[in-house]
Amino acid sequence: MSTPEVRPAASGRAARSGFASFAARVAGGMSWLTLSLAALFLLLPILVIVPLSFGNQRYLAFPDGDWSLRHYAALLDGAWLSSILQSLGLALAVGVLSTLLAFLFTTGVWLQRRYRLLLIGIVLLPMIVPQVVSAMSIYYLGARTGQLDSLVGVGYGHLMMALPYSVIAMLVAYSRLDTSLYRASRSLGAGLGMTLLRVLLPNVRGGLLGSFFMAFIMSWEEVVVTLFTSGLHVITLPKRIWDGLRYNLDPAIAAVSTVMVVLTLVVMLVRLYLHRRAASPPSG
Protein backbone atom coordinates (compact mmCIF):
# COMPACT_ATOMS: atom_id res chain seq x y z
CA MET A 1 0.00 0.00 0.00
CA SER A 2 1.61 3.23 -1.17
CA THR A 3 1.72 6.39 0.94
CA PRO A 4 0.21 9.47 -0.78
CA GLU A 5 2.80 12.07 -1.58
CA VAL A 6 2.28 15.54 -0.07
CA ARG A 7 2.96 18.20 -2.63
CA PRO A 8 5.13 21.12 -1.45
CA ALA A 9 2.85 23.71 -3.09
CA ALA A 10 -0.23 22.49 -1.27
CA SER A 11 1.70 22.34 1.99
CA GLY A 12 2.90 25.92 1.51
CA ARG A 13 -0.61 27.17 0.81
CA ALA A 14 -1.89 25.43 3.93
CA ALA A 15 0.88 26.98 6.02
CA ARG A 16 0.17 30.44 4.67
CA SER A 17 -3.56 29.98 5.25
CA GLY A 18 -2.93 28.88 8.84
CA PHE A 19 -0.63 31.84 9.47
CA ALA A 20 -3.18 34.25 7.98
CA SER A 21 -5.91 32.80 10.19
CA PHE A 22 -3.66 33.11 13.25
CA ALA A 23 -2.75 36.70 12.34
CA ALA A 24 -6.44 37.55 11.90
CA ARG A 25 -7.26 36.14 15.34
CA VAL A 26 -4.39 38.09 16.91
CA ALA A 27 -5.48 41.30 15.16
CA GLY A 28 -9.06 40.74 16.29
CA GLY A 29 -7.94 40.20 19.87
CA MET A 30 -5.76 43.31 19.79
CA SER A 31 -8.61 45.40 18.40
CA TRP A 32 -10.95 44.20 21.16
CA LEU A 33 -8.27 44.94 23.74
CA THR A 34 -7.76 48.44 22.35
CA LEU A 35 -11.49 49.12 22.30
CA SER A 36 -11.86 47.82 25.85
CA LEU A 37 -9.05 50.04 27.12
CA ALA A 38 -10.48 53.07 25.30
CA ALA A 39 -13.95 52.40 26.72
CA LEU A 40 -12.51 52.00 30.22
CA PHE A 41 -10.58 55.26 29.83
CA LEU A 42 -13.75 57.10 28.77
CA LEU A 43 -16.11 55.48 31.27
CA LEU A 44 -13.87 55.56 34.33
CA PRO A 45 -14.69 59.21 35.23
CA ILE A 46 -18.40 58.40 34.97
CA LEU A 47 -18.01 55.34 37.16
CA VAL A 48 -16.28 57.52 39.75
CA ILE A 49 -18.90 60.30 39.66
CA VAL A 50 -21.88 58.01 40.30
CA PRO A 51 -20.87 56.85 43.82
CA LEU A 52 -19.71 60.37 44.69
CA SER A 53 -23.24 61.63 44.07
CA PHE A 54 -24.60 59.39 46.85
CA GLY A 55 -22.29 60.69 49.57
CA ASN A 56 -23.57 62.23 52.79
CA GLN A 57 -20.77 64.77 53.32
CA ARG A 58 -20.75 68.46 52.46
CA TYR A 59 -17.77 67.87 50.19
CA LEU A 60 -16.99 65.42 47.42
CA ALA A 61 -16.19 62.08 49.02
CA PHE A 62 -17.02 58.43 48.50
CA PRO A 63 -19.84 57.23 50.78
CA ASP A 64 -18.40 55.34 53.72
CA GLY A 65 -21.35 53.02 54.20
CA ASP A 66 -23.69 56.00 54.60
CA TRP A 67 -25.51 56.46 51.31
CA SER A 68 -27.70 59.53 50.91
CA LEU A 69 -29.78 61.41 48.34
CA ARG A 70 -29.10 64.83 49.86
CA HIS A 71 -27.15 66.00 46.80
CA TYR A 72 -30.03 65.07 44.51
CA ALA A 73 -32.44 66.88 46.83
CA ALA A 74 -30.20 69.94 46.56
CA LEU A 75 -30.97 70.08 42.83
CA LEU A 76 -34.55 70.99 43.68
CA ASP A 77 -33.66 74.08 45.68
CA GLY A 78 -33.97 77.59 44.27
CA ALA A 79 -30.46 78.08 42.88
CA TRP A 80 -29.95 74.80 41.04
CA LEU A 81 -33.54 74.55 39.84
CA SER A 82 -33.40 78.11 38.50
CA SER A 83 -30.22 77.32 36.56
CA ILE A 84 -31.74 74.14 35.13
CA LEU A 85 -34.87 75.99 34.00
CA GLN A 86 -32.84 78.84 32.51
CA SER A 87 -30.67 76.41 30.55
CA LEU A 88 -33.70 74.45 29.38
CA GLY A 89 -35.56 77.58 28.26
CA LEU A 90 -32.52 78.97 26.46
CA ALA A 91 -31.78 75.64 24.77
CA LEU A 92 -35.37 75.28 23.53
CA ALA A 93 -35.49 78.85 22.22
CA VAL A 94 -32.08 78.58 20.56
CA GLY A 95 -33.04 75.22 19.06
CA VAL A 96 -36.21 76.60 17.48
CA LEU A 97 -34.65 79.85 16.22
CA SER A 98 -31.50 78.15 14.95
CA THR A 99 -33.53 75.53 13.08
CA LEU A 100 -35.77 78.19 11.51
CA LEU A 101 -32.83 80.36 10.43
CA ALA A 102 -30.89 77.34 9.16
CA PHE A 103 -33.90 76.19 7.13
CA LEU A 104 -34.41 79.59 5.52
CA PHE A 105 -30.70 80.10 4.84
CA THR A 106 -30.16 76.62 3.42
CA THR A 107 -33.25 76.91 1.24
CA GLY A 108 -31.89 80.16 -0.17
CA VAL A 109 -28.44 78.82 -1.01
CA TRP A 110 -30.00 75.62 -2.37
CA LEU A 111 -32.17 77.57 -4.80
CA GLN A 112 -29.66 80.31 -5.62
CA ARG A 113 -26.22 78.88 -6.38
CA ARG A 114 -24.55 82.26 -6.81
CA TYR A 115 -22.11 83.09 -3.99
CA ARG A 116 -23.20 79.86 -2.30
CA LEU A 117 -19.77 78.85 -1.00
CA LEU A 118 -19.04 82.39 0.21
CA LEU A 119 -22.29 82.61 2.16
CA ILE A 120 -21.84 79.17 3.69
CA GLY A 121 -18.29 80.06 4.68
CA ILE A 122 -19.47 83.23 6.43
CA VAL A 123 -22.15 81.35 8.38
CA LEU A 124 -19.66 78.67 9.43
CA LEU A 125 -17.10 81.20 10.71
CA PRO A 126 -18.00 80.66 14.42
CA MET A 127 -16.79 77.07 14.04
CA ILE A 128 -13.42 78.24 12.71
CA VAL A 129 -12.75 81.31 14.84
CA PRO A 130 -11.49 80.49 18.36
CA GLN A 131 -14.37 80.41 20.78
CA VAL A 132 -12.78 82.98 23.08
CA VAL A 133 -12.58 85.46 20.19
CA SER A 134 -16.25 84.90 19.38
CA ALA A 135 -17.15 85.31 23.05
CA MET A 136 -15.26 88.60 23.24
CA SER A 137 -17.06 89.95 20.17
CA ILE A 138 -20.43 88.92 21.62
CA TYR A 139 -19.47 90.58 24.91
CA TYR A 140 -18.60 93.82 23.11
CA LEU A 141 -21.90 93.77 21.20
CA GLY A 142 -23.84 93.06 24.40
CA ALA A 143 -22.09 95.92 26.19
CA ARG A 144 -22.94 98.32 23.36
CA THR A 145 -26.60 97.28 23.27
CA GLY A 146 -27.10 96.92 27.03
CA GLN A 147 -27.94 93.21 26.80
CA LEU A 148 -25.22 91.83 29.05
CA ASP A 149 -26.45 89.54 31.82
CA SER A 150 -29.83 89.11 30.14
CA LEU A 151 -31.55 86.13 28.58
CA VAL A 152 -31.62 87.95 25.24
CA GLY A 153 -27.88 88.63 25.25
CA VAL A 154 -26.91 85.14 26.41
CA GLY A 155 -29.39 83.59 23.98
CA TYR A 156 -27.92 85.58 21.09
CA GLY A 157 -24.46 84.28 21.95
CA HIS A 158 -25.73 80.71 22.10
CA LEU A 159 -27.55 81.19 18.79
CA MET A 160 -24.41 82.48 17.12
CA MET A 161 -22.44 79.41 18.23
CA ALA A 162 -25.21 76.90 17.43
CA LEU A 163 -26.29 78.18 14.01
CA PRO A 164 -23.33 76.68 12.05
CA TYR A 165 -24.16 73.19 13.31
CA SER A 166 -27.81 73.61 12.36
CA VAL A 167 -26.78 74.79 8.90
CA ILE A 168 -24.57 71.74 8.42
CA ALA A 169 -27.45 69.43 9.36
CA MET A 170 -29.73 71.20 6.89
CA LEU A 171 -27.11 71.15 4.13
CA VAL A 172 -26.86 67.39 4.48
CA ALA A 173 -30.65 67.10 4.21
CA TYR A 174 -30.81 69.35 1.14
CA SER A 175 -27.95 67.50 -0.57
CA ARG A 176 -30.33 64.53 -0.99
CA LEU A 177 -33.17 66.65 -2.38
CA ASP A 178 -33.76 67.09 -6.11
CA THR A 179 -34.35 70.67 -7.27
CA SER A 180 -36.86 69.38 -9.82
CA LEU A 181 -39.37 68.98 -6.98
CA TYR A 182 -39.25 72.72 -6.34
CA ARG A 183 -39.47 73.59 -10.04
CA ALA A 184 -42.38 71.20 -10.57
CA SER A 185 -44.28 72.67 -7.63
CA ARG A 186 -43.76 76.22 -8.84
CA SER A 187 -44.66 75.36 -12.43
CA LEU A 188 -47.96 73.85 -11.25
CA GLY A 189 -48.94 77.17 -9.68
CA ALA A 190 -47.94 76.69 -6.04
CA GLY A 191 -46.68 79.81 -4.31
CA LEU A 192 -43.39 80.05 -2.48
CA GLY A 193 -44.99 79.59 0.93
CA MET A 194 -47.00 76.57 -0.20
CA THR A 195 -43.91 75.04 -1.78
CA LEU A 196 -41.92 75.50 1.41
CA LEU A 197 -44.64 73.99 3.60
CA ARG A 198 -45.93 71.19 1.37
CA VAL A 199 -42.88 70.18 -0.68
CA LEU A 200 -39.60 71.14 0.98
CA LEU A 201 -40.45 70.75 4.68
CA PRO A 202 -41.68 67.13 4.45
CA ASN A 203 -38.57 66.14 2.50
CA VAL A 204 -36.09 67.69 4.94
CA ARG A 205 -37.84 66.87 8.22
CA GLY A 206 -34.92 64.65 9.24
CA GLY A 207 -32.58 67.59 8.81
CA LEU A 208 -34.92 69.82 10.81
CA LEU A 209 -34.90 67.36 13.69
CA GLY A 210 -31.12 66.99 13.57
CA SER A 211 -30.72 70.76 13.34
CA PHE A 212 -32.88 71.30 16.42
CA PHE A 213 -31.05 68.72 18.52
CA MET A 214 -27.63 70.02 17.49
CA ALA A 215 -28.58 73.58 18.45
CA PHE A 216 -30.24 72.39 21.68
CA ILE A 217 -27.12 70.50 22.76
CA MET A 218 -24.80 73.36 21.83
CA SER A 219 -26.84 75.82 23.90
CA TRP A 220 -27.31 73.40 26.80
CA GLU A 221 -23.57 72.84 27.25
CA GLU A 222 -22.25 76.27 26.23
CA VAL A 223 -20.07 77.74 28.97
CA VAL A 224 -17.44 80.01 27.38
CA VAL A 225 -19.87 82.48 25.80
CA THR A 226 -22.04 82.32 28.93
CA LEU A 227 -19.11 83.30 31.14
CA PHE A 228 -18.50 86.37 28.98
CA THR A 229 -22.12 87.51 28.64
CA SER A 230 -23.77 86.58 31.96
CA GLY A 231 -23.39 87.82 35.51
CA LEU A 232 -25.57 87.73 38.60
CA HIS A 233 -28.98 87.39 36.99
CA VAL A 234 -28.45 84.78 34.28
CA ILE A 235 -26.73 81.70 35.68
CA THR A 236 -27.17 78.71 33.41
CA LEU A 237 -26.46 75.17 34.51
CA PRO A 238 -22.96 74.99 32.94
CA LYS A 239 -22.05 78.31 34.58
CA ARG A 240 -23.29 77.12 37.97
CA ILE A 241 -21.26 73.93 37.58
CA TRP A 242 -18.24 76.03 36.65
CA ASP A 243 -18.71 78.26 39.69
CA GLY A 244 -19.16 75.22 41.92
CA LEU A 245 -15.92 73.68 40.68
CA ARG A 246 -14.04 76.95 40.90
CA TYR A 247 -15.07 78.23 44.31
CA ASN A 248 -16.40 75.59 46.69
CA LEU A 249 -16.49 72.22 44.85
CA ASP A 250 -20.20 71.73 45.45
CA PRO A 251 -20.98 67.97 45.72
CA ALA A 252 -24.30 68.58 43.96
CA ILE A 253 -22.23 68.73 40.77
CA ALA A 254 -21.79 64.96 40.99
CA ALA A 255 -25.56 64.54 41.22
CA VAL A 256 -26.10 66.81 38.20
CA SER A 257 -23.53 64.88 36.20
CA THR A 258 -25.11 61.55 37.10
CA VAL A 259 -28.57 62.76 36.10
CA MET A 260 -27.26 64.04 32.76
CA VAL A 261 -25.48 60.74 32.08
CA VAL A 262 -28.64 58.77 32.85
CA LEU A 263 -30.75 61.03 30.63
CA THR A 264 -28.23 60.66 27.81
CA LEU A 265 -28.32 56.88 28.10
CA VAL A 266 -32.13 56.89 28.09
CA VAL A 267 -32.23 59.06 24.95
CA MET A 268 -29.69 56.82 23.21
CA LEU A 269 -31.61 53.66 24.11
CA VAL A 270 -34.91 55.16 22.92
CA ARG A 271 -33.30 56.27 19.67
CA LEU A 272 -31.79 52.81 19.16
CA TYR A 273 -35.15 51.18 19.84
CA LEU A 274 -36.97 53.46 17.40
CA HIS A 275 -34.28 52.93 14.74
CA ARG A 276 -34.50 49.15 15.03
CA ARG A 277 -38.27 49.27 15.03
CA ALA A 278 -38.29 51.38 11.88
CA ALA A 279 -35.74 49.11 10.19
CA SER A 280 -37.50 45.85 11.06
CA PRO A 281 -39.93 44.52 8.42
CA PRO A 282 -43.63 44.68 9.33
CA SER A 283 -44.98 41.44 10.76
CA GLY A 284 -47.86 39.62 9.16
CATH of the domain at 168: 1.10.3720.10
Answer whether residue 50 is part of any domain: no
Measured at the alpha carbon of residue 143, what is the angle toward residues 158 and 101, in degrees to the nearest 5? 30
Number of domains in the chain: 1
Question: Which residues constitute the domain of residue 104?
Answer: 85-234
Give the separation between CA 97 and CA 110, rounded to whole angstroms.
20
Please, what's the b/e burial string for 117-127 (b: 16 or more CB within 10 A of its CB; e: otherwise)? Answer: eeebeebbebe
pLDDT at position 124? 93
Asked if residue 6 has pLDDT above 60, the reply is: no
Q: Does some domain include residue 281?
A: no
Mean pLDDT of 175-199: 81
Q: What's the number of CA atoms in the CB half-sphere (13 Å) around residue 244?
A: 22
- 102 in a structural domain: yes
Structure confidence at residue 23 as a pLDDT band (50, 70, 90)? low
Residue 178: its pLDDT value, please? 77
The C-alpha angle 210, 213, 218, rounded to 5 degrees, equals 125
Cβ contact 154:229 at 8 Å: yes
36 belongs to a structural domain: no
Residue 1 inside a domain? The answer is no
Give the model's pLDDT for residue 17. 62
In a domain, 31, yes or no: no
Residue 60's nearest CA partner among 258, 260, 257, 254 is 254
In a domain, 10, yes or no: no
- For residue 26, pLDDT over 80 is answered with no
- Whether 28 is covered by a domain: the verdict is no
Question: How far is residue 77 from each of residues 3, 141, 183, 223, 255, measured CA to CA in Å?
Answer: 89, 34, 56, 22, 13
Q: What angle, rounded to 10 degrees, do the helices at 8-52 and 252-279 form?
A: 140
Tell me the mean pLDDT in the region 21-50. Answer: 76
**Whole-prediction pTM value?**
0.78
pLDDT tens digits along 59-97: 777 777 778 888 888 888 878 889 999 999 999 999 999
